[in-house]
Structure 1
Amino acid sequence: MAQAGTETSTLAPTLRLVVDVGDSPALPWVRDYFDALNDLCAFACEIAAWDAMPKSDPGRRAYEWSRQFHGAVSASRYFGVQRIRLASPLEVVLTAASSKAAPVAYALTAMFLVERAVKLLMEWQRHRKEIEEREPTEHSFLHSLGAGIAATGIVADLTGAEEGREMPDEFDSRRGHNALKTLALVPILYVEMTAPPREPERPSSD
């Protein structure tokens, strides 16, 4: 059932994510996974909202962002669910949601950030697998530690901290960091953002 005041379109961009959940995952695990995915989407939305604010007046920009978006942005304002397959592998297809509070342009930026974050997680997972094949370990705390380090780097990448970019004082990166730590522990098989096809140009009447 669609959320009131929100519309999804077949012409909107979509993001397809496929992960290996194993056989018969526990229900709390499924809940935690979707909570983490929602938090990553919401984290990307806050960044997208900040990027969209007018930059000519830094003070006004920070005030408007804090007043309109901080603490109130939820992924549901930017994303809709087009399809979920609760099997192994688990598949989720997200689409941009359009409303007065969340223009599709915001969703497009947020969706791009989510795709980039997941692709960076995939790279880290491949690298970790290569290391484990050479040096096997059964210590789960090392996996968690590595996921935390990876999450820190990805948060810095998404927010532009590595280039010296500054986010507003109220911005809390812990939400994105914790979400990425959870998502990093689930093998990612595929992620792709698909833009809608362009409509053919109409012939000139001249």
Structure 2
Amino acid sequence: MFRLRAISALLVLLGCLALAAMAEAGEKTPRLPSLFGGPFRLLDEQGRYVGPEDYAGKFMLVYFGYSYCPDICPTDLAVMAAALDILGEEATRIQPLLISVDPRRDTPEALRELTAAFHPALVGLTGTEAEVTAAAKAYRVHRRRFQLEGMADADYLVDHSTLTYLMGPDGGFVTMFPRGTTPERMAEVLRKYLAGAG
């Protein structure tokens, strides 16, 4: 059973890397709505439960991270924000979302403070452990809490996937961006899909 799960996880990872490479190369990636994304119910920064249907008609740019992330999340969110700035008025057709992988510490208030530092359109989403787990599972995102030697119990870190997902106006998966994508490249690919959607 463990071997089958390991093989399945490896195949999904390889598929993710292939799709990310296609996105980086500017190629149109296949629609795989059943593999990435799906329904979720999470709390937004105002404490309201929302799901993909609340953003229907817009593209969703989805990133999984957390407010205590020391370096990776801030870097990736800065790239996302810069790409949206490059798009200018076109960016109003995209809803950027940060879904927490650390619901234990990420309250709506904590996420509101974090997202405000990056982009005015960026919205943070959190929830109960079960709700966040369901969202992460829908996007095939791994997350694992760990502590470095000498850390206090409350000062843990969270290892997590660092892909940025682009979902279409219908909520279906469009493409993904690997870590290391430049703002210029992300904006270029986003503009292509925006143009294709009319």
Q: TM-score range by the shorter chain?
A: under 0.3
Query: Taking structure 1 as the reference length, what is the TM-score of the superposition?
Result: 0.25
Larger strand proportion of the pair: 2
- Structure with the bigger percentage of helix: 1
- Specify which structure has the bigger relative contact order, considering alpha-carbon pairs within 8 angstroms and separated by 6 or more residues: 1
Larger radius of gyration: 1
